Structures are given as C-alpha cells and as structure tokens.
Amino acid sequence: MARTSGAELAQLLLGGFHAMADEVIAELERRGHPGVRPAHEFALRAIDAGADTASALGRRLTVSKQAAAKTIAGLEQLGYVGRTSDPSDARLKRVQVTPRGHELMTVGARLFDEVRDRWAAQIGAAQLAEIERQLVALIGDRREQAQGEAPQRAT
C-alpha cells in the first residue's frame, strides 16, 4: 500500500479543514453567533491584526480587494465590525472590530482550539505539533511570497 497519492493528500487536507470548520460553525451558531462563516472568522482575525482596510485585508488574505470588501460588508451587517473614514486620507475606510466582534474572536478561537485539542489527544500532541511545523514549512512561505505580489491582475 504505497497509497495516499497526491490527490488523496489534497483531499485529506481539505477534509481536515472542513472537519474543523463545520464543527466550529455549528457550535458558534448554538452559542449566539448564527450566520457566521469560516471566512468571517479568518477575516476578523486579520482585521484585528492590522489589516483594517478592504485593500489591506485583500492582500493579507490573498484575495481581491473586492472579495475582501464583500466579507467586510458581511461582518458589518452582522455587527462584528464598524467602519469610519480616515481623517487623514479620504480614500480610506478604516475597519474596527466591535466588542461583539472581539467576543466572536474569543469564542471562535476557543472552539478551534478545542477541536485541535481533541485531535492532539487522539494522535498525540507531539505528532500534531509536528504536522503543523511541516505544514508551515511547506506553505507558510506561500503566504509571504504572495504578500509582495499584486493581488489584482489587471487594472
């Protein structure tokens, strides 16, 4: 069984993501955060980490600024972020995470960590940490590499 082909590996990675995300979203719904999507979670973290404009968020998440703007619109509608114009640069709309947004981040992080902890219990904390280390080595650079590129192909 030299199985686990490349295609299977891809499916495992995607399946792993879904396994975590589906559970967290379902639990968030139960805990007073209906309508939240994985993309919201990640975007909120990126915003809080400093990507506080649509363009910056797009670069951070390696998606177009339009996609980022849509996500922000969704977050705003759910009450997780607010937007105000930047006084020193009228082009910018700065995004701030609301208290409810911070609460979502806290709960969401804990739920993700819970799944991770269960996984650690299942295969061993060292093994899981090792997987993370290798994944970072494999694709951590992908993010930084994308950082310098233009997210928008044509203009």
Q: Is residue 51 at the binding interface for DNA, with CB under 7 A as the rule?
A: no
State yes or no: residue 102 binds a copy of itself (CB under 8 A).
no
Q: How far is the CB of 98 from a copy of itself (least distance, A)?
A: 19
Identified binder of a copy of itself from the candidate list 79, 82, 123, 149, rule CB under 8 A: 123
Query: What secondary structure letter does DSSP report for 31?
Result: T
Q: Does 60 bind DNA (CB under 7 A)?
A: no
65 is an interface residue for DNA by CB under 7 A: yes
Give residues 95-134 in contact with DNA (rule: CB under 7 A): none
CB of 76 to DNA, least distance (A): 9
Sign of the alpha-carbon torsion through 132, 138, 144, 150: negative
Q: Give yes or no for a contact between 107 and 33, defined as CB atoms under 8 angstroms apart.
A: yes
Tokens (6 digits) for 90: 């009228």
Tell me if 64 contacts DNA by CB under 7 A.
yes
The DSSP output letter for 81 is E
Alpha helices in the chain (DSSP H): 6-30, 38-48, 54-61, 65-77, 99-123, 125-135, 141-148
Residue 31 near which of DNA, a copy of itself, none (CB within 5-8 Å, type-dependent): none
Which residue lies nearer to a copy of itself by CB, 132 or 149?
132
Q: Take residue 79 and report the two structure tokens written for it.
A: 């009450």
Rule CB under 8 A: is residue 63 a binding residue for a copy of itself?
no
